[in-house]
Structure 1
Amino acid sequence: MSAHATRRSLIRGITAATAVASLTTGLAACGGNSDAATTTGNAKSGEVVVGRVSNGAATQTAIKVSEVKSISAELPDSVKKSGKLVIGEGALPAGFPPLAYVGSDQKTLTGSEPDLARLLAAVFGLKPDIKNSTWENMFVGIDSGKVDVALSNITDTEERKKKYEFASYRQDNLAFIVPKKSTWNFDGNYENLAGRTIAVGSGTNQEKILLEWQSKLAKEGKKVTVKHFQDSTSTFLALNSGKIDASFGPNPGFAYHNRQTAGTPSATRTAGTYSGAGAGLQGLIAATAKKDSGLAEPLAHAIDYLIENGQYAQWLKAYDLSDEAVAKSEVNPPGLPLDNS
């Protein structure tokens, strides 16, 4: 994987969400070594409690799920014999709510990604062993065989397919966030932005998309004003004061901000989403394993089982991410092309 590819996906999937999280006090930061915060979150056999110790990022929900032997039988022998599914998270040092961060008990790695890992481990009848590390070291863990699969908001790209195999589980979406009282919505057409002032992070994938729209509008004699702020606090102050109409960034981070500000004078809402891969392709977030590991297909079957039996919808709803649902898991679906990965 190129450094460019890593940086762009890191910006899209993690950095902006981390910035949003900085607005909220009381969240513990991830700490310790890569083996820290590995508790399972299981209340009892056959049940996974998602959103546990989430500190307001999710609605705590007990989800019933047990081993499906026809699916666990598909796992490589080495994984079956180990009795555990080793899952990589790239949430050090600060975490990125609502996707992955240390919870209110100061030790449990919580968030939508670790909770999905626990659900998948339950389908396999395995103990979830979650290894938290930096983004770069998460991939080192996959490469070295110390990690079976990573679930850490990883975008499926053609560049990454050179080394990894994928089972998709969530749409990779960007979003527009507006004050809750705003009546404006993004309808998927860039012309909808004419006359608006939009904030976006510098050097991000969403900035690239927004500047392309700005250029198209200029050719039509229309204008969208693009603003940049040094941090998320400044961005949301500008949003609340009416200096900007909306901010454009990763959907999960905005979903988290909406939940954290609900019922306050600065309440926000999502005004529309857009594929992180652009107009021609729906970007996908995928469970990521070493190429030819034999894990992608059983992972996809486990995800499909959760979709078909309702646990998947419960998991997404708990984290306000229902708008990123997929109809089924795909093994190695088309990913971001090499010139945009």
Structure 2
Amino acid sequence: MSIAMVTAATVMGTAAGCSEGDSAAAPASNADGTTAVTVGAVSNGAATETTISVPQVAAIRAELPKEVLDGGALTIGIGALPAGSAPLAFVGTDQKTLTGSEPDLGRLVAGVLGLRAEITNATWDNLFVGIDSGRSDVGFSNVTVTEARKDKYDFASYRKDNLAFEVLESSSWNFDGNPDSLAGKTVSVSSGTNQEKILLEWRQQLQAKGKTFTVKYFPDSSAVALALQSGKIDTYFGPNPSIAYHIRQTASTPKPTRDAGTYSGAGQTLQGLIAATTKKGSGLVKPLADALNYLISNGQYSKWLAAWNLSNESVTSSQINPPGLPRTNS
């Protein structure tokens, strides 16, 4: 997970487990065994609110460990405290619902498994403590697969870990994967991030060819947005989800922005992946991957991504423990 340019939304709650209860996003179980999940509930425009129905799939449910099946709930860990990041996980306009792309996908997966979704919220570090201790069955929290993490956890991938370039909608520039296209541009990036590391490496490569581009830093996301609107920078390079969120925010403004191209957060030789995270050997990773693949094959997955403006991070299948960021880069 990279440091994002985000508009922070205060996340209420504690690290303790909390039931969906009567929150706006609580899935509704129907008499025919389907679950209706309201994706993007109370998201204040961060998503297009969409109701997605998923059936309980008996063959996948039968793969669950007995203790999870008997408990009747999938406890989903989110690492969004103290401040959530739209569009991934944040408190909605009702001041109680944990909304966002990550908890929504967890609710959809729970529906396929025929389980009640119970969302727990924690700090990033305590997300993993919760998985280690068994307080959470699985983390849906923008966790990047790394080789080091695979020592302790099993992963079922569900989204590309992408970086993106944001430009004004009026700009004709696009990033085609070749750093040479940045020559002569002024680019903003957040200091101390993975994307800064990649960007500075590209600048070194260009300088060896007698070319260069300018890198500018700003104190926060609002300053970056103003710099882009005023023409002080040509583009901002940051995490794709936060850029997707900002693009949605600017859509009805005088100077809307757009995505000018993506790049793997793992670099040129590996597509980084975001994955559901479970304790190694818990027996949950296969039913989770199978549930995700059911959603991918039957269209609910694409509707979920589209609702959150994240279709450019779609994968064709969920992989169990796919190649992760190498130990030297994770």
With structure 2 as the length reference, what TM-score do the two structures score?
0.95
- Residue 31 (1) aligns with residue 12 (2): yes
The residue number in structure 2 matching 1:4 is: none
Q: CA deviation at 1:20?
A: 2.0
The residue number in structure 2 matching 1:41 is: 26
Q: Which moved more, 1:313-322 or 1:32-41?
A: 32-41
- Residue 292 (1) aligns with residue 262 (2): no
The residue number in structure 2 matching 1:200 is: 189
Once the two structures are superposed, residues 93-142 of structure 1 have per-residue CA deviations (whole angstroms, 9 ceiling, x without a partner) of 11010010010111000000000000000000000000001100010000
Runs of 4+ in 1 over 6 A off after TM superposition: none
The residue number in structure 2 matching 1:168 is: 157
Q: Which of 143, 148, 151 in structure 2 is aligned with 1:159?
A: 148
Q: Which of 308, 311, 318 in structure 2 is aligned with 1:319?
A: 308
Q: CA deviation at 1:33?
A: 1.3
- Residue 150 (1) aligns with residue 131 (2): no
RMSD: 1.1
Q: CA deviation at 1:21?
A: 1.2
- Residue 184 (1) aligns with residue 192 (2): no
Q: Which moved more, 1:263-272 or 1:35-44?
A: 35-44
- Maintained 8 Å contact 1:201/1:228: yes
Q: CA deviation at 1:36?
A: 4.7
Q: Which of 101, 104, 107 in structure 1 is aligned with 2:90?
A: 101
Q: CA deviation at 1:41?
A: 2.5
- Maintained 8 Å contact 1:68/1:123: yes
Higher helix share: 1
- Maintained 8 Å contact 2:188/2:215: yes
Q: Which of 74, 89, 101 in structure 2 is aligned with 1:112?
A: 101
| 3-state secondary structure, aligned to 1:278 | coil
- Maintained 8 Å contact 2:159/2:273: yes
Q: CA deviation at 1:75?
A: 0.8
- How far apart, in 2, do the equivalents of 1:72 and 1:202 lie? 45
2:6 corresponds to which letter in structure 1? V
- Maintained 8 Å contact 2:18/2:118: no
The residue number in structure 1 matching 2:258 is: 269
| 3-state secondary structure, aligned to 1:65 | strand
| 3-state secondary structure, aligned to 1:215 | helix
> Unmatched 5+ residue regions in structure 1?
1-8
| 3-state secondary structure, aligned to 1:95 | strand
Q: Which moved more, 1:210-219 or 1:36-45?
A: 36-45
Report percent identity of matched pairs: 61
Judging changes above 3 Å, is the alpha-carbon distance between structure 1 residues 313 and 33 closer, same or farther for their aligned structure 2 residues? same
Q: CA deviation at 1:329?
A: 0.3
The residue number in structure 1 matching 2:7 is: 21
Q: CA deviation at 1:266?
A: 3.0
Once the two structures are superposed, residues 242-280 of structure 1 have per-residue CA deviations (whole angstroms, 9 ceiling, x without a partner) of 011000000000000000111202311110000000000
The residue number in structure 2 matching 1:281 is: 270
- How far apart, in 2, do the equivalents of 1:44 and 1:290 lie? 28
2:26 corresponds to which letter in structure 1? G
- Maintained 8 Å contact 1:54/1:111: yes
- How far apart, in 2, do the equivalents of 1:80 and 1:178 lie? 48
- How far apart, in 2, do the equivalents of 1:106 and 1:118 lie? 19
Once the two structures are superposed, residues 295-340 of structure 1 have per-residue CA deviations (whole angstroms, 9 ceiling, x without a partner) of 1111100000000000000000000000000000000000000000
The count of residues paired between Structure 1 and Structure 2 equals: 322
| 3-state secondary structure, aligned to 1:294 | coil
Once the two structures are superposed, residues 11-32 of structure 1 have per-residue CA deviations (whole angstroms, 9 ceiling, x without a partner) of x1xx41xx4214xxxx5x1122
The residue number in structure 1 matching 2:324 is: 335
The residue number in structure 1 matching 2:228 is: 239
- Taking the TM superposition and a 5 Å limit, the aligned residue runs for 1:16-95 are 16=4, 19-22=5-8, 27=9, 29-34=10-15, 35-36=17-18, 38=20, 39=23, 40-45=25-30, 46=34, 47-95=36-84
